[in-house]
Structure 1
Amino acid sequence: MGALPRAALALAALLGVSSAMLEVHVGVSSIFSVEGQQVVLPAWYTSRSQKKPYVTWLVDKEDADPFQILTYLDGVVKVEETELKPRLGFLYPVLTHNISVFINSTRESDSGQYMCTVNVVDDVTSTGKNVGVINLTVLVPPATPTCQLHGDPAVGANVTLSCTSEKGKPSPIYQWHRTAPTLQVFFPPAQDQVKGTLKLTNLSLDMAGVYVCMAENRAGSAECSVILEVHSTSTKAVIASAVLGSLCALATVVIVALRVVGYWRKKRDSQEEAANEIKEDAVAPKTPSWARHPASDTLSKTSTFSSLAREKPYGAAPPSDTASVLTAAGSYRGPHQPRHGGRTPNLSPPPPAAVNGTPQRRQDPQGSLPPAGLTRAGAVPVMVPAQSRAGSLV
């Protein structure tokens, strides 16, 4: 753009208007720039004076009054605006009559109406001829948009896809399309290019795929995508049934486990109660009847048993398995005694003779017959085990 003022100056010289009155010219009335790029505001002036001019650049924004941003006075360049100081300056030396300015790394806030004025000491001008105006618009490309799915993508249902970009100047236009293998571009009324929405009605399984939204304006474009997975209601029912079945199976296992534990606890408690009842019902062993008799009776029974144990069978008859019997009258009946005529012969020796008129007790050579007094004292017949030849009990 810097070549345009030079061409205009050259044309003016050829036409012989170099001696005309002071006047400011601009290359264009409006200019656009993309955020982050450099912009040049083209301007130049004509004058017949050779003295140094006084040049001023101002900006008028919608939200503020006009204010100076750049000046040239007595050969000194001064940037008045702090925000623009490292980014603003004259593109060429002012004495060349080219007063174009540049702005580096433009921002959206740089947008506005820029005015330049020129004054020369010994030159005259008509009103308004020494002022040039250029409108600058800094464009902002769309930010990466956000894609969202609204609704349940089931067969036969309706869903809405939305696309929104947080910034962009001018406001971006949105365009939806579905990618390969089924490429499809959507138009109104299915989609709203201003709001960025796309409505899909009566979904079917073949409508599934990747949907891409592109946000675009004069400064650039950006895009996002969303995956649409259409599912059938039967699939949802199968999933719900599987989950319900798993829960029921788990509940059954828990119930069975609780019942088994309760059964074993009940069985254990029953066994413990039965053992406690047996212990409580147990009766101490009774004392034998013979242990309750007086000591004298016990002694007489012991003596009688001892006498019988030492008694040998009458004669030399061999021992028998049949026990000897002590009768209630105190007589002794040996084993295997022969019977004569149904009566037992009296084999006892004759009573001893009296000595000095006093009857003598018969002495049993074996000392095994019990005395008659034991019978009168209440002795009872006792079965005595037979003895072997060695004298041991059989």
Structure 2
Amino acid sequence: MATETRLGWQQLFLILTVLPCCRTLEVSIPQQQYKVSKGEDITLTCSFITTRPDFSLLVIRWSSYFQDNPDEPMQRIATFYTDNLVDIVPEYENRVRLEVDVDKCISTLHLTKVTMQESRSFHCSVLIPTDDEGITSATTSLLVLEPPSRPLCTIQGKAEYGQDITLTCKSEEGSPKPSYEWNSYSVQNMPRPFPPKTTEVNGSLSLFNISQETSGFFVCTSTNEVASTSCNLTLAVVPASMNIGSTAGIIGGVLAGLLCLVLLIFCCCRKKDQKEQNAEGSPEDMDFHDKDAPEAGEQYRDYTSEAKPQVYQDKAVSHNSYSDLHNHHGGSCDRLVYNQYLN
């Protein structure tokens, strides 16, 4: 019994003497993730335990990086040096405050009016030259919360009988990334299940072999832990012949044909009127010809100038003869003279 008691005390003595010699620097952050709404303030805390409480030099540095992009270099935010000297990078001068309690071995980083750019990982490292082994840094993540923006709902494909279409829904903003859910309503605005073979992935609702029964209302809801919002679509499935574009093309073709027909009729009527006018002619355009004009190649003779003297001469002679006969022979000669005059 005495031997066993002696061994127990030896083991306890060994543990108590060796353990302090194996103790090293240990840096930690109490939370693996912090959450804050966009535009609000947040405080990150980093604590450390050292085996050299009498250190003469202490350096604490806060940095950040995007966890989704490991190739991006770490961005320095603020650094604390011994004698309460703090260095803050220009990008954060007006929004960051770094405090360090050396006695309690606690470093506090205050961020004000956080933006979506601060939704990343934050790294706290502690440097003590005489205690540089162990866990010298710790990391936490900051999630900046933002409600989703109103999603945009669109239709990809033709809403015609027998076609396959996809309804899409996406919010441009929102942190964390929103999830999407589609719901369908009939033309009478009654909830209904999706048609067979319908698939829904990341806000995309695929409908196959659509028909008139597929017509109705579709509502997409975008949700994250901050808020939710929605958009809706009215789906009207029509036969291919009733496609708006085709119908517009047919109407346009008919109108163009009618216009051409009207122009053709107008041109024909106008041409007919012109022909009739040319056939009738106008007094200004008519040519007058002497019926006694000479034939082509025949010398022109003025019968009028030749006839007049002869006529006037005959008349004068006949008139004198008539007077003489009348005077000498009386009325018995009137008929004879008159006949001769007429001849």
For Structure 1 versus Structure 2, the TM-score category normalised by the shorter chain is 0.5 to 0.7
In structure 2, distance between residues paired with 1:287 and 1:117: 144
2:214 matched residue in structure 1: 207
Partners of 2:164 and 2:329 lie apart in 1 by 130
After superposition, give the CA deviation of every residue in 1:266-305 in whole Å (9 maximum; x if it has no partner).
1122233998675357656962874153xxx844632542
For structure 2, which runs of at least 5 residues remain unmatched after alignment?
Answer: 1-22, 294-301
Residues 132-173 of structure 1, C-alpha deviation per residue, up to 9 Å, x if partnerless? Answer: 432334466655443321222123433222234456665543
Instruction: Tell me, yes or no, if structure 1 residue 148 matches structure 2 residue 162.
Output: no
Residues 234-383 of structure 1 correspond to what in structure 2 (within 5 A)? 235=242, 245-272=254-281, 278-279=287-288, 287=304, 290-291=307-308, 293=310, 298-299=312-313, 301-305=315-319, 308=322, 324-327=334-337, 381-382=340-341
1:259: Cα distance to partner?
1.2
Secondary structure of 2:264 counterpart: helix
Q: How far is 1:326 from its partner?
A: 4.2
Once residues 291 and 110 of structure 2 are traced to their aligned partners in structure 1, the CA distance between those partners, rounded to angstroms, is: 119
Is the Cα contact below 8 Å between 1:174 and 1:215 reproduced in 2? yes
Shift of 1:203: 2.8
* Distance change (3 Å), C-alpha of 1:131 and 1:275: closer
Q: 1:381 aligns to what SS in structure 2?
A: helix
Partner of 1:203, secondary structure, is: coil
Name the stretch that deviates more: 233-242 or 84-93: 233-242
Deviations 1:169-222 (A, max 9, x none): 65543322235713346599623323x322223333343333233344456555
Relative to 1, partners in 2 of residues 1:316 and 1:274: Cα closer, same or farther, differing over 3 Å?
A: closer
- Residues 203-212 or 164-173, more deviating: 164-173
Q: Does the CA contact (< 8 Å) of 1:216 and 1:222 recur in 2? A: yes
Structure 2 distance, partners of 1:51, 1:127, is 14
C-alpha separation between the residues in 2 aligned to 1:241 and 1:129?
Answer: 78
Whether 1:59 and 2:73 are equivalent positions in the alignment is no
Q: Scaled by the length of structure 1, what TM-score is found? A: 0.58
Aligned equivalent of 2:5: none
Q: How many residues align?
A: 303
**Amino acid in the other structure paired with 1:325:** R
Aligned 1:113-124 pairs, distance under 5 A: 113-117=122-126
Identity of aligned residues (%): 20
Secondary structure, aligned partner of 1:27 = coil
After superposition, the C-alpha distances for 1:61-115 in whole angstroms (9 at most, x for unaligned) are 3334446422334554524322222221136877665422122313335512411
Q: Distance in 2 between matches of 1:303 and 1:137?
A: 145
SS of 1:153's partner is coil
Distance 2:325 2:38 in 1: 144
**More displaced 10-residue stretch of structure 1: 101-110 or 60-69:** 60-69
Is the CA contact 2:64–2:120 (under 8 Å) kept in the aligned structure 1?
no
> Counterpart amino acid of 2:124?
M
Select the structure that is richer in strand: 2
Q: Partner residue of 1:228?
A: 235
Q: Which runs of 5+ in 1 are unaligned?
A: 1-19, 328-332, 334-379, 385-394
In 2, are the aligned partners of 1:154 and 1:230 still within 8 Å (CA)? Answer: yes
Q: Aligned partners of 1:64, 1:133: CA distance in 2, in Å?
A: 16
The alpha-carbon distance between structure 1 residues 286 and 177, as it changes in their structure 2 partners (threshold 3 A), is farther
Q: For the aligned residues, what is the CA RMSD? A: 4.8
| CA–CA distance in structure 2, aligned partners of residues 226 and 323 of structure 1 | 126
**Larger helix share, 1 or 2:** 2
Q: 2: distance between equivalents of 1:221 and 1:153?
A: 28
Return closer, same or farther for 1:134/1:109 CA change in 2, 3 Å cut-off: closer
**Larger relative contact order, structure 1 or 2 (CA cutoff 8 Å, min sep 6):** 2
Deviation at 1:264, TM superposition (A): 0.6
- Cα distance in 2 for partners of 1:276, 1:325 equals 51
For 2:160, give the aligned amino acid: A
Tell me, yes or no, if the aligned pair for 1:116 and 1:132 is still in contact at 8 Å: yes
Structure having the higher Rg: 1
Distance 2:195 2:211 in 1: 19
Q: Which residue of 2 aligns with 1:354?
A: none
2:45 pairs with 1:42: yes
Decide whether aligned partners of structure 1 residues 238 and 50 sit closer, same or farther in structure 2, where only a CA change above 3 A counts. Answer: closer
Contact 1:117 1:132 (C-alpha < 8 Å) held by counterparts: no
**Residue pair 2:151, 2:230 contacting (<8 A) in 1 also:** yes
Structure 1 counterpart of 2:44, one-letter code: L
User: How far apart in 2 are the matches of 1:147 and 1:115?
Assistant: 43
